[in-house]
């Protein structure tokens, strides 16, 4: 199934058609997939409720499209090369035929365990092939997967399990990360102590750590697939049935479960994958993200498999055994399209070019970036030293909520400009709004990035709380989906992302709400109150700066308090959310009405010592001087 646009002119023509008649545009593409029953209405929508339905009454199973459909022509083609954390460990590969059989076996095992269509299943796993099998088996039997990044803590895991009321967890005894091994099973054990919905835990043996297994609840992955049939009737899903939930942070409250549905997500991930990366038959694609994030869902699992692609899955980290690992893996598998995050590029830049130039990267055709704005220095380094000035850099802007890439060049077809994500993909009606919600038509302007028409892979709701979806995304500007980002358009209409305009911080491409980190800090016995802001960080993009009011009557050492506060964040969310800086303060700058003036705290975190703008509403201006003089 070739969905590829082949020239820039064709892109422009397709874009125009997709705006003129979106239903027609997407229905031509959707017809190329395997449906059990053709849909009746291509699109029904309004952004007020919101109510978005694509390909209504169509019936399908996404796994038939990414496995069964390929078997005849690509059965013996490699679907994934798996590269272990340890370079001396022999890698594995799995063909489409083999993947199909593994998925069928595990699907049968899930059904035998009582899993039914619509059940929620939590996946908390390392970067191994069985994780892909688990994801696809859920999809095959119509269970809704909720993948939780294995860097999240027990508490974070429990919150997400409870929110989705999952009945089963799929995990492993542990995982390998550089020189470390991380125990996952014990994290799950702690989490499920507070999750009465969990009936079963399926455990994959990854590190031979022999964890305790609770009789009647815990089963080994290898035991339950034993003897299972290698075929499995897929569940028939409606186009709008849920495919998965993925939790992501927002400016308020606990993370929300973004819901994606079967038909639209399938069409858009396949379409965007082929076009952005200009993937051709025989190419080898590598996305370095973790499957626990949306990038892994859409561009390790669904997009590439729908396209019948061959990809690499990597268990390890970019700096183990040394900072040349990415490039060694690119050489080893002759990677043609490489997709990573700016934070990884920035951290590797520091190690110099010797570890890059050792490897043959001549197979590369397209190199991609995702997750946060890529600064000019990193862009140039990537373009010159990895792409050898021969490969276009596709700077792909999108979100968990958009399901697929919204802004990006299409391989070498499109013009590119450092730090600019570029133009919207066909079907994506991107706009900039001013503060009043009026569309900015002219170029060379800056505004709030919004989308004014549905696309197939957009979120449909936030799990269990539709009002939240409406309030967060559809209520700021009437009739528009609000991304939470600010952006500029250059003289040619190319978009450049400025960053979040809400209380969301992006640390190494990971998204956290300031409120969520504050909540974790506030559980600490020393903390009375806290305020968290982001600040520019050379490697991570943004760092986390926490101002914490501590109880003055305690006698603990400052360093002891700070490590205890750090520990609270590790426990509440995970190590990935640990503040880079914690400043103990006697109070937070508040307005007379009690609102924290974050604007001032942000400036202080950025290193500003004065010029805080209008501070006339501050209750206690001396507090600010105090915070400035002790700032980190
Ligand atoms: C936020 C979404 C979707 C991939 C991983 C992150 C920022 C994402 C870019 C980019 C500038 C970017 C935005 C966005 N972002 N890609 N190419 N240039 N910023 O997914 O966790 O849902 O975060 O990441 O701020 O809103 P996510």
**For the residues of 503-536, what is the DSSP string, one character each?**
SEEEETTEEEEHHHHHHHHHTSTTEEEEEEEEEE
Neighbours of 610 (CB within 10 A): 8
Whether 370 is in the pocket of ligand 1, judged by its Cβ within 6 Å, is yes
Which residue, 120, 65, 96, is CA-closest to 234?
Answer: 65
Neighbours of 36 (CB within 10 A): 12
Torsion of CA 457, 460, 461, 467, to 10 degrees: 130
Q: What pTM did the predictor assign?
A: 0.96
Whether 120 is in the pocket of ligand 1, judged by its Cβ within 6 Å, is no
Tell how far the Cα of 399 is from the centroid of ligand 1, in angstroms: 5
395 within 8 A of 422, measured Cβ to Cβ: yes
pLDDT of 214: 98
DSSP class of residue 407 equals B
169 within 8 A of 201, measured Cβ to Cβ: yes
What domains lie within the chain, and their CATH numbers?
Answer: 504-629 (3.30.300.30)
Phi then psi for 243, rounded to 5 degrees? Answer: -100, -45
450 within 8 A of 317, measured Cβ to Cβ: no
Whether 397 is in the pocket of ligand 1, judged by its Cβ within 6 Å, is yes
DSSP state letters, 414-481: S---TT--BSBPTT--EEEE-TTSPBP-SSSEEEEEEE-S--TTS--EETT-HHHHIIIIISSSTTSE
Neighbours of 623 (CB within 10 A): 17
Task: Determine the residue of 268, 294, 399, 418 to mutate for testing ligand 1's pocket, defined as the one with the most ligand atoms within 8 A of the Cβ atom.
Answer: 399
Residue nearest to atom 1 of ligand 1 (CA): 399
Tell how far the Cα of 296 is from the centroid of ligand 1, in angstroms: 13
What is the Cα 270 distance to its own chain's centre?
17
530 within 8 A of 522, measured Cβ to Cβ: yes
Kind and range of the H or E element at 168?
A: strand 168-172
Whether 508 is in the pocket of ligand 1, judged by its Cβ within 6 Å, is no
Residue nearest to atom 18 of ligand 1 (CA): 373
| Dist CA 457 CA 467 (whole Å) | 20
Residue nearest to atom 17 of ligand 1 (CA): 397
pLDDT of 133: 98
Residue nearest to atom 7 of ligand 1 (CA): 372
Tell how far the Cα of 580 is from the centroid of ligand 1, in angstroms: 21
Distances (CA, A) of 120 to 163, 266, 293, 480: 10, 19, 18, 30
* Residue with tokens 């305009």, as numbered in its chain: 501
Which residue, 320, 340, 392, 261, is CA-closest to 89?
Answer: 320
Angle between helices 96-112 and 129-141 (to 10 degrees): 60
Neighbours of 621 (CB within 10 A): 12
Tell how far the Cα of 426 is from the centroid of ligand 1, in angstroms: 19
What's the first-to-final CA gap in the chain, in angstroms?
55
198 within 8 A of 208, measured Cβ to Cβ: no
Tell how far the Cα of 169 is from the centroid of ligand 1, in angstroms: 28
Instruction: List the helix and strand counts (H, then E) for the chain.
Output: 21, 30
Whether 398 is in the pocket of ligand 1, judged by its Cβ within 6 Å, is yes
| Dist CA 239 CA 260 (whole Å) | 11
Tell how far the Cα of 158 is from the centroid of ligand 1, in angstroms: 25
Tell how far the Cα of 398 is from the centroid of ligand 1, in angstroms: 5
pLDDT of 407: 98
Whether 172 is in the pocket of ligand 1, judged by its Cβ within 6 Å, is no
| Dist CA 561 CA 547 (whole Å) | 13
* Residue with tokens 């958009």, as numbered in its chain: 402
| Dist CA 365 CA 358 (whole Å) | 19
Whether 542 is in the pocket of ligand 1, judged by its Cβ within 6 Å, is no
All residue ranges of the chain with pLDDT < 70 are: none
Ligand 1 atom nearest 500 alpha carbon? 25
| Dist CA 267 CA 68 (whole Å) | 17
Phi then psi for 6, rounded to 5 degrees? Answer: -115, 0
Tell how far the Cα of 591 is from the centroid of ligand 1, in angstroms: 32
Which residue, 325, 328, 275, 329, is CA-closest to 303?
Answer: 275
Tell how far the Cα of 41 is from the centroid of ligand 1, in angstroms: 31
pLDDT of 216: 96
Q: Return the beta strands (E) in 573-628 as ranges.
A: 581-585
pLDDT of 618: 87
β-bridge partners, 367:
338, 393
pLDDT of 614: 81
pLDDT of 617: 83
Strands of the sheet containing 430-433, edge to edge, are: 430-433, 445-451, 481-489, 495-500
Provide CB contacts within 8 A for 161, sequence distance 6+. 122, 146, 169, 191, 192, 195, 197, 198
Residue nearest to atom 14 of ligand 1 (CA): 399
Whether 275 is in the pocket of ligand 1, judged by its Cβ within 6 Å, is no
* Residue with tokens 């043996």, as numbered in its chain: 205
pLDDT of 49: 97
Residue nearest to atom 19 of ligand 1 (CA): 372
Whether 85 is in the pocket of ligand 1, judged by its Cβ within 6 Å, is no
pLDDT of 339: 98
């Amino acid at each position: 199934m070739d969905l590829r646009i082949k020239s820039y002119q064709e892109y422009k023509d397709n874009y125009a058609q997709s705006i003129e008649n979106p239903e027609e545009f997407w229905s031509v593409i959707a017809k190329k997939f395997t449906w059990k029953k053709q849909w009746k209405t291509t699109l029904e929508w309004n952004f007020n409720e919101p109510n978005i339905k694509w390909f209504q009454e169509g019936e399908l199973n996404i796994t038939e499209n990414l496995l069964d459909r390929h078997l005849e022509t690509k059965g013996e083609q490699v679907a994934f090369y798996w590269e272990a954390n340890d370079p001396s460990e022999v890698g594995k590969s799995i063909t489409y035929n083999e993947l199909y059989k593994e998925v069928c076996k595990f699907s049968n095992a899930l059904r035998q365990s009582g899993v039914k269509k619509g059940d929620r299943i939590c996946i908390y796993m390392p970067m191994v092939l069985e994780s892909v099998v688990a994801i696809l088996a859920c999809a095959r039997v119509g269970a809704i997967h909720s993948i939780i990044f294995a860097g999240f803590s027990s508490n974070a895991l429990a919150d997400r399990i409870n929110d989705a009321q999952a009945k089963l967890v799929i995990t492993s005894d542990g995982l390998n990360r550089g020189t470390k091994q991380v125990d996952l099973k014990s994290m799950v054990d702690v989490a499920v102590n507070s999750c009465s919905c969990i009936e079963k835990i399926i455990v994959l043996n990854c590190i031979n750590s022999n964890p305790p297994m609770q009789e009647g609840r815990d089963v080994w992955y290898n035991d339950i697939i034993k003897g299972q049939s290698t075929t499995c009737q897929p569940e028939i899903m409606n186009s709008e049935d849920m495919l998965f939930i993925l939790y992501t942070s927002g400016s308020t409250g606990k993370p929300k479960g973004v819901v994606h549905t079967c038909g639209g997500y399938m069409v858009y991930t396949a379409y965007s994958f082929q076009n952005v990366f200009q993937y051709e038959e025989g190419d080898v694609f590598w996305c370095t993200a973790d499957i626990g994030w949306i990038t892994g869902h859409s561009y390790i699992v669904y997009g590439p498999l729908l396209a019948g692609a061959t990809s690499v899955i990597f268990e390890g980290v970019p700096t183990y055994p040394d900072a040349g690992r990415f490039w060694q893996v690119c050489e080893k598998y002759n990677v043609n399209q490489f997709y990573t995050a700016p934070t990884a590029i920035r951290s590797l830049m520091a190690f110099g070019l010797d570890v890059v130039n050792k490897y043959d990267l001549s197979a590369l055709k397209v190199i991609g970036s995702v997750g946060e704005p890529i600064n000019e220095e990193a862009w140039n380094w990537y373009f010159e030293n990895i792409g050898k000035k021969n490969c276009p850099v596709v700077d792909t802007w999108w979100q968990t909520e958009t399901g697929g890439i919204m802004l990006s060049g299409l391989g070498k077809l499109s013009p590119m400009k450092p730090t600019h994500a570029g133009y919207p993909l066909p079907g994506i009606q991107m706009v900039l709004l001013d503060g009043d919600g009026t569309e900015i038509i002219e170029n060379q302007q800056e505004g709030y990035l919004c989308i004014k028409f549905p696309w197939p892979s957009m979120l449909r709701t936030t799990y269990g709380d539709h009002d939240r979806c409406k309030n967060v995304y559809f209520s700021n500007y009437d009739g528009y989906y609000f991304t939470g980002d600010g952006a500029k358009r250059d003289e040619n209409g190319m978009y450049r992302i400025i960053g979040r305009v809400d209380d969301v911080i992006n640390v190494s491409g990971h998204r956290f709400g300031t409120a969520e980190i504050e909540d974790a800090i506030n559980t600490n016995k020393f903390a009375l109150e806290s305020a968290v802001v982001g600040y520019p960080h050379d490697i991570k993009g943004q760092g986390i700066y926490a101002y914490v009011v501590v109880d003055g009557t305690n006698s603990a050492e400052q360093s002891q308090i700070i490590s205890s506060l750090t520990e609270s964040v590790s426990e509440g969310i995970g190590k990935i959310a640990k503040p880079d800086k914690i400043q103990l303060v006697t109070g937070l700058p508040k307005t007379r009405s009690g609102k924290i003036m974050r604007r001032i705290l942000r400036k202080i975190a950025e290193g500003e010592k004065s010029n805080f703008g209008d501070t006339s509403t501050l209750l206690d201006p001396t507090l600010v001087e105090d915070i400035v003089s002790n700032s980190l």
